[in-house]
Amino acid sequence: MISCQKSTFSLDPAVHYLNCAYMSPLSKRVEEAGIAAVRGKRSPNYVTPEDFFSTPLRVKQSFAHMIDGDAGRVALFPSVSYGIATVANNLHLKSGQSIVLLHEQFPSNVYSWMKLAARSKADVRTVHRPQADSLAEVHAAWNEAIIDAIDASTAVVAVPIVHWADGTLFDLKAIREKTRAVGAALIIDGTQSIGALPFSVSDIAPDALITAGYKWLFGPYSCALGWMGPRFDAGEPIEENWINRKGSELFSGLVDYEPDYQPGASRYDVGEKSNFIIMPMLQAAMEQVNGWTPEGIQEYTTSLMAPFEDRIRAAGYEMAPKHTRGAHLFGIRLPGGQSVETVKASLATNNVSVSVRGSAIRIAPHVYNDEEDVVALVDALEQASLA
C-alpha cells in the first residue's frame, strides 16, 4: 500500500485538511514545476515552436493513461463548463426529446443543458434524490430512478460518477446500457472522481467525459480535460484558434489559412492551450497521481478511515456503506436534531477542514492525510454530538 504522502506536500501543520473535493493542495513537486515554468518566461528566446505542442501532448497522454483511453481523443479545456458547452453545442435535439440530469448536480453540468433544451424545445428531466431511511436505500432507489427516467424520448444523459455533495456512486454500467438501448448520448462529469476512483473509458464507453484539473488531478486552477468519443469526431469547437488548425506546427505558414482542424479531439482544445505555466504543473501533477494510481488512493483512504467508522456511527452519525460511495469522498449524515452550526463550530475548534452541505458533512481524504487528521475529525464529531 502507498505510504502517507504528507511530507511531499506543504500543508499547514495546524490544519487537518480533509477537503480534496474542494481543491487539492499543491504538492512540492507541482510547486517546483510551477516555479520553473514562471522562470521560463524570463528568456522567451528558449521557447521553441515545438514547446507549444509537446507539454499539452504529454498532459493528454497522462490523462489517457489515467482513464484507459487514447490520447488522440483528449481535449484541453479551461473549465468543466467549457467542456460541457463544447459537447452540448454539438448535440442536435428535436422538440419533445429529454435531457436527463440529477438532483442538485453541479451547475457547470446543468446550465448548458438548460440552454440546449430551451433552444431545441426539449425537456430537462431531473431525477430527484429519493427520501429513504438509510443512505444505502437512497443509493439503490436513486440508481433505479435514473434508469427509469431514461426512455425513448431521451437524447442525452449528463451525470457525474459520484455526486459532488455526498459521494453517492452512480451505476454507470447500467446507465450506459440503458442509454445505448434508447440511442441517447452519455456525457459524464468526472470532476469528483477521475484520478481518485478507477474509471475506464474503454469499459464504459461514454460519449464524452469531462474533468476539472484542480481537484483529484492535483493541477492548478483553470484547467480541465475531456475525452471525446466518436460522436464528436467532426464537431465544431467553441472558438476558432490558430493552433487547432491542421499544420499549425509550421509557424511560417500560419497565414496560409487552413480549413481543416488538427486530427482527433484537438479541434476542441482551448486557445493558448500551450499555457506555459499551467501545463507543466498539470503534467507534473498527473504523473504523481498516476504513480499513486486511483486503486492505490482508494486502498489508502479506505484503510485510513476504517478504524474510525464505528466511533463515528456510535456518536450517532450515519456513514453510507462502502459499495454506495467512493472511499475518497463521502457524506456523513447528522443525527436527527443535531444542529449543523454546532458541528461546524466543533470542526473549527479542532482545526478540521471539510465541507458542510445541508445536513451532511462532506469528507474527502487523500494520501497526504494521516491518522491524526482522522482523530481530529472524529473528536470534533463526538464533541458536537455531546454538546
Ligand X SMILES: Cc1ncc(COP(=O)(O)O)c(C=O)c1O
Q: Tell me which residues touch ligand X (CB under 6 A).
A: 79-81, 106, 108-109, 160, 164, 189, 191-192, 212, 224
Contact 161, 194 (CB under 8 A): yes
Q: What are phi and psi of 43, to 5 degrees?
A: -130, 80
Min CB(80)–ligand X separation in Å: 4
Which residue pairs, CB below 8 angstroms and at least 24 apart, start in 30-38? Answer: 30/218, 30/219, 30/220, 30/281, 30/284, 30/285, 30/288, 32/284, 33/280, 33/281, 33/283, 33/284, 34/220, 34/277, 34/280, 34/281, 36/280, 37/276, 37/277, 37/279, 37/280, 37/281, 38/277
Min CB(164)–ligand X separation in Å: 4
Min CB(363)–ligand X separation in Å: 15
Q: In the complex with ligand X, which residue's Cβ is closer, 109 or 266?
A: 109
Residue 167's region, left for phi above 0, alpha for psi from -120 to 50, else beta, is left
Q: In the complex with ligand X, which residue's Cβ is closer, 77 or 232?
A: 77
Min CB(373)–ligand X separation in Å: 21
Q: In the complex with ligand X, which residue's Cβ is closer, 79 or 283?
A: 79
Q: Counting Cβ atoms within 10 Å, is residue 370 exposed (0-12), middle (13-18) or buried (19+)?
A: middle
Min CB(316)–ligand X separation in Å: 28
Min CB(384)–ligand X separation in Å: 25
Q: In the complex with ligand X, which residue's Cβ is closer, 193 or 338?
A: 193
Q: In the complex with ligand X, which residue's Cβ is closer, 108 or 385?
A: 108
Q: In the complex with ligand X, which residue's Cβ is closer, 166 or 189?
A: 189
Residue in 211, 195, 181, 180 with CA at minimum distance from that of residue 83: 211
